[in-house]
Structure 1
Amino acid sequence: MEGIVETPEEQLAKQHRKEKKDMQAKIQSMKNAIPKNDKKRRKQLTEEIAKIEADLSQKHEEELMQLQSTTDTEVEEVLNGVETMKVDDGEEEEGKQSRVTKAQKRRDKKAAQEKERESRIAEAEVQNLQGVRHQEGLKLAQKLAQQQLQIKEISSDGHCMYRAIEDQLAQRSEPGSVTSVKDLRSSTAERMRGHADDFLPFLTNTNTGDMYTTDEFEKYCSDVEHTAAWGGQLELRALTQVLQLPVAVIQADSATIKIGEEFDSEPITLVYMRHAYGLGEHYNSVEVLKDPANAEDS
């Protein structure tokens, strides 16, 4: 009896998993080849590994997209495989089917389930690699690796910008720095109220297009202080002045935004993601990139 025919998606999924395993083996070999005390070479290795992973991910994405471009008719024929084959002699086929044992039926059922599972895996890989969130994360990882940094995830609850700054200040252990989200929000609102001329001109009513009235501006500041209102560039500008520290905001597809450059200190570094979650925009913190030369395989 003929075996179960694999679909192109299943074959490609298996190939990709093999290539990922081969890549991990290659990376491990690269790690082992560098002495632990060779810090310069280990730093170069971090960037090399990031490029290897990015190149393989890009290759897989292109292969998946090429496979998807197959016409619907061709895909249907491949997916149906043996099931769509017509039997010239119906009576002969019926006789063969009647002789299929229960054990063979169980094997066929198990093989069919495995085939379906492989198809689901392949489909999930297509969705993952083509997703804008995946692509954005990949680009950010490459940018950050050049600075020996990596993303540190911050919860998405409306306070993400303030939580990311809170995390950055905690990493710096700045003496006397404002560290809690509540204090950061309060200080931001206080700065904006006290310097309305610096912020009010940039706020407009979305319905009328007119600049905020005094009452609307106060409502905006109150939301900054007391609610989970999302923070943006205006709030970052206020915080740079409160903290007397510059802020660098790294993005995937744009140049790094620098705020508060008048302050001569090491900047707070944030990551801005447009597609991080279902609601869209999100801020994360960063941390020192874990040394792949010492990291254990997962």
Structure 2
Amino acid sequence: MEILNKYKTVFVIPVLFLIIQIDSKTQNQSFESYKQEIPNTNLSFEMVPIPAGEFLMGTSMEEIGHDGDESPQRRVSIDAFWMGAHEVTWDVFELFLDKDFEKAISTKPITQQVDGLSRPSTPYLDMTFGMGKENKPAIAMTQYGAIQFCKWLYLKTGKFYRLPTEAEWEYAARAGSNTAYFFGDKKESLSEYAVYDSNSKGQTMPVGSKKPNPWGLYDILGNVMEWTYDHYSPYRTSQNTIKNPVETSEALYPKVLRGGHYESSESELRSGKRFASDPIWKQLDPQIPKSQWWFPEAPFVGLRLVRPLISPSEEEIKAYYNQEPIADY
């Protein structure tokens, strides 16, 4: 994949997401919810279908809580994809973190490709931050770490999993709505759907503790913020519908996260709210360069998976997974 100039806006999604191979297996697959099992373990996770469509991305200045970086609004077209019904939990993420643990619970030897995969360094802090792991979202990984988890999952399952683009995330979170939240504008209903500052008691909750949005996505607002693939950059005006937009940059910061978290305010949980990664999240890291895997001061960061309905080519998949990390000094 060509490395683009810093802060360059790409209105047509890059080659990775655009060039596709349609084989008989792809043509015949059903576009329904499914359970993805982790081979040779008793672990699995749920994926739900997100239909193709168009929506108005961003928020109007009249929306209560509107921030300037949420406009100008633009019409966006999105191809169909599956999205994780829940945020990725520790039980699955820990298999990626610890090869010995993965070997211990697998009923068959792990493959050579998986065995040789580069994995996160052992963190010097308790990366659960005392909040526990059982059915709770994995937290504090960098965007690079999240993408490498997707690579591990691809090697395990043979299916191309990746991070959502910012546009895909907002489209899925809105689920056809154009209000501040997918259930409307009245923040009084928020506690039914989200874990945030008024009901979290200062920590994450098990995934699925609240009601899902109309497309079957739990905790899409609150609990933990979720990585997208995009570089954080101002929106630009477009008179035309933009198809599958994504913002790329060779710069390490800032990258876009969405959804708010367990200590977010009501306004920060709006569907159009944007967040940007910050190097201060590594302030406590004594390493030089700082870890490419962990944000020791970001217990509010997690991830949710996407799988496109039509998978890109093997070459494009490798280009997505095999990008070198950018040194963080």
Report the TM-score range of the alignment, normalised by the length of the smaller protein: under 0.3
Of Structure 1 and Structure 2, the greater strand share is in 2
TM-score (norm 2): 0.24
Higher relative contact order (CA 8 A, sep 6+): 2
TM-score (norm 1): 0.25
Larger radius of gyration: 1
